[in-house]
Amino acid sequence: MTGRYVVGRVADIPEGGRVLVEVGGRQVGVFNVGGSFYGLINRCPHKGAEMCKGNVVAGLTSARPGEFEYDEGTALLMCPWHGWEFDVRTGQSWFDPRTRLRTYDVAVAGPDEVEGMPVADRVTDRVAGPYVAETVEVGVEDGYVVVDLRKARKARATRETPEARPTEPAGKGGDR
Amino acid sequence: MTTALLAGTTRDELWPDPVIDCDVHANVPSLEALFPYLSRHWVAWCTERGWHGPVGGVNLAYPPGSDRSCRPEWRPADRPPASELGLLQQHVLDPWRVERAILTCYYAVDALRHPDWAAALARAVNDWLVAEWLDRDPRLAGTLVVPARDPAAMIEEIHRVGDHPGFVQVLLPVRHAALWGQRQFHPVFQAMTEHGLVAGLHFGGVTTDAPSSTGYSSYYVEEYAAEWQSFTAQVTSLVSEGVFQVCPELRVSVLEGGFTWLPVWGWRMDKEWKGLRREVPWLDRRPLEIIREHMRFSVAPADLGTREQTATVLEWLGSDDMLMFATDYPHGYDDDIAQLLAAAPPAMRPRLMADTARDWYRL
């Protein structure tokens, strides 16, 4: 978990694209969302799936049946095992009032910009889940995408929520 | 059997405090009993044809002579069971000293395909219920029947009698040609909430389709044992289709359908929702949370295990407020309300016996 690693050129990861790299002994998914780069450790905080291989989808909420709010400004990574949605930029899970993924900040260490770690909270109609995926910082320097493992944010799962009721079987709410 | 006759115990020994029975039944004794509530046109419609009532009525699921259909102690010699107020008073209302009882009459109006005749018969049953039951005993609160094949006619009948102070609920047979959560029924639920009526999802119903999800069974034992399939299908539909987002005030009672399946169904549904949420994005909460807010369940019949097992299931419900006492008069099951009460935590007992139903039905 030390050091900074060049993982590719900016041109290698077009908007909406991603690469999966191994740096410092860790697998990191680097995503280009709207021209900004974000990094997530390739391990779902729920059950350990290689989450960075899941589909990236837009936000989708609804106030009532038949009405859809499709939010392309939000990028959600769906873990391939259970379909849970994690915000690519923050690692926040949005499926379940108890879970969250931890994002690695993938900053673009370019000559003119350094993308910090946005604390995006666009999916405001939904209740944040208990997991946060592990994020890494990703930057762009001179047209190269650089992953900085020194600025990782650990995955976590919040547990003290009203949802933790005795109606749940032991473990995490009856997950497979 | 405690629910039936308080045999071997007394009302006060079993439960000294208020009792509300959320599921007692009235049976239409004969088609002729409804003639005073039908126009001459519809009376002639029956008499000219020698028609004697909907095929597939209560007898479809309850053979007339079966002890399931009527507990022997409650079976009158000269009339159909539960066919007049005096019987209900003698068998349940008086010995149980009920504060209130929710009366439901299933007359298989939903079996009729003639849209006008179905609507006329529903009106007659409701007017008969008002005149011969609800207006004659203030302890009763009623469930109105609707011509369930026709959403527009359902709404019309709800508007016609929904404001009668005696009615608190609308009968929705659990077996139906379509799942109740689907869009064509949303205006029906809106009409119910306009009149402050509960949707009573109740055992029964005549559909073209098989009563099970995979064909006709051979025996009644299968039908009774597997009926919860129909209930889970309807509950799943109501939740998934977003009925409670369309009608945030809607209350649904699940009657004569058991309740022990609920937590297990809920775990499955909650889990599927996490992964497939995008299909039904209007579901902004776990399905079980929606159920706890919008549904209550009668306790007869109940699939009780040992006291310890029953206590575990009650804990899994996650609320002291989900269950409502019922005798299911005149049907005969082997439920033991004393066993259920013994398994229930003390705080749940008064809720189960009366408080939940009183709040739920705004009695």
pLDDT at A95: 62
- The larger pLDDT score, comparing residue A103 to residue A152, is at A152
pLDDT at site B221: 85
How far apart CA A57 and CA A44 sit, in angstroms, is: 17
**Touching check for B285 and chain A: CB below 8 Å?**
yes
What CA–CA distances, in Å, run from A136 to A21, A54, A102, A152, B128? Answer: 12, 18, 8, 4, 72
Instruction: Report pLDDT for A158.
Output: 59
Residue keyed to tokens 């000559």: A111
Select from B336, B356, B338 the least CA-distant residue to B347. Answer: B356
pLDDT bin (cut points 50, 70, 90) of residue A132 is: confident
Q: Look at residue A176 and tell me whether its pLDDT is greater than 50.
A: no
Taking 50 as the threshold, does the pLDDT of residue A19 lie above it?
A: yes
Residues B30, B70: Cα–Cα separation, whole Å: 17
Q: Is B264 on the interface with A (CB under 8 A)?
A: no
A45-76 burial, b for 16+ CB within 10 Å, e for fewer? bbeebebbebebeebbbbeebeeeeeeeebbb
Could you report the per-residue pLDDT of A48-63, keeping only the tens digit for each? 999 999 999 999 989 9
At B274, list the tokens: 């996490």
Nearest one of B65, B94, B96, B64 to B300, comparing CA atoms: B96
pLDDT score recorded for residue B261: 95
State whether residue B246 sits within 8 Å of chain A by CB.
yes
Q: Does A162 touch chain B (CB under 8 A)?
A: no
pLDDT (tens digit, 0 to 9) for every residue of chain B, 363 residues total? 345 556 678 899 999 999 999 999 999 999 999 999 999 999 999 999 999 888 765 566 677 788 888 888 899 988 899 999 999 999 999 999 999 999 999 899 998 999 999 999 999 999 999 999 999 999 999 999 999 999 999 999 999 999 999 999 999 999 998 999 999 999 999 999 999 999 999 998 887 777 667 788 888 888 888 888 899 999 999 999 999 999 999 999 999 999 999 999 999 999 899 888 899 999 988 899 999 999 999 999 888 889 999 999 999 999 999 999 999 999 988 778 999 999 999 999 999 999 999 999 999
pLDDT at A2: 58
pLDDT at residue A125 above 60?
A: no
Residues with Cβ within 8 Å of A160's Cβ and at least 6 positions away in sequence, in order, are: none
**Contact call for residues B83 and B24 (beta carbons, < 8 A):** no
Measure the CA–CA gap between B55 and B65, rounded to whole angstroms.
Answer: 17
User: In chain A, what residues touch B320 (CB-CB under 8 Å)?
Assistant: none
Q: What is the pLDDT of residue A168?
A: 38
SS3 B320: coil
Helix (H) / strand (E) containing B284? none
Any A CB within 8 A of B267 CB: yes
Q: Across the interface, do B183 and A66 touch by the CB < 8 Å criterion? A: yes
Give the model's confidence band at A104: pLDDT under 50 very low, under 70 low, under 90 confident, else very high. Answer: low
Helix, strand, or coil (residue B255): strand
pLDDT at residue number A108: 54
Mean pLDDT score of chain A: 76
What is the H or E stretch that residue B169 is in? strand B167-173
**How far is Cα B295 from Cα B26, in angstroms, rounded to an integer?**
23
Burial (Cβ within 10 Å: 0-12, 13-18, ≥19) of residue B279: exposed
Q: Nearest CB to B315: which of A127, A166, A173?
A: A166
Q: Chain B residues with CB inside 8 Å of A163's CB?
A: 286
Q: What is the pLDDT of residue A150?
A: 82
pLDDT value, residue B2:
43
Closest residue of B to A96, CA-based? B274
